[in-house]
Amino acid sequence: MEYQTSFSSPLGFLALKSDGQSITDISFSENDLQEQKSCAVLDECRKQLDLYFSGKVLDFTLPLSPEGTEFQQKVWTELLKIPYGETITYMELAVRLGDAKAVRAVGTANGRNPIAIIIPCHRVIGAGNKLTGYAGGLWRKKLLLELEMKHSVRKDMLF
């Protein structure tokens, strides 16, 4: 059974989905979902997102179950290792995965991340600290990075 609910964030509505055991999708939405059916994991997700946007949660503790290829799963797992308030480049991400030549594939997998914010694809930037690519729009990526910089112990993040 699929559960879904909305979350009103500073970046607009987020559509949250769950299989009842874990989070399966978080995406940006132009509208509040009309049909909502929540569950305990979605209630906890909304609570943690609220704390995240207020700067009180730096790490999410939610069960995640994103659907994707084996390679995409590897990329998304590596994204979860990027600390709050820090950024890495697409090249650094490819190197962490063991293949600097896979930078384009890494970028594509990053862009297909189905669980926005919690799997922090917004923490991956282009060479030279350039903001590039974000499914939710570059303005959202910039705001997420600014939020994290504001509440992070590290204040030297550039973008």
pLDDT tens, residue by residue, 10-56:
999 999 999 999 999 999 998 887 778 989 999 999 999 999 999 99
Distance, CA of 68 to CA of 57 (rounded, Å): 27
Contact 89, 133 (CB under 8 A): no
Q: What is the layout of strands, in order, in the sheet containing 12-18?
A: 3-9, 12-18, 23-29
- Dihedral sign for Cα atoms in the order 25, 30, 36, 41: positive
Least confident of 97-106, 112-121, 122-131: 122-131
Per-residue CA distances from 24 to 20, 68, 130 (Å): 9, 11, 29
Report the interhelical angle of 70-79 vs 103-111 (nearest 10°): 80
Identify the pLDDT of residue 156.
52
pTM tops 0.75, yes or no: yes
> CB within 8 A of 40, min separation 6: which ones?
none
Catalytic residue IDs? 121
Q: Which of 132, 156, 71, 69 is nearest to 123 (CA)?
A: 132
Identify the pLDDT of residue 130.
86
Residue 154 has pLDDT above 60, yes or no: no
Q: For the CA atoms of the chain, what is the radius of gyration? A: 15
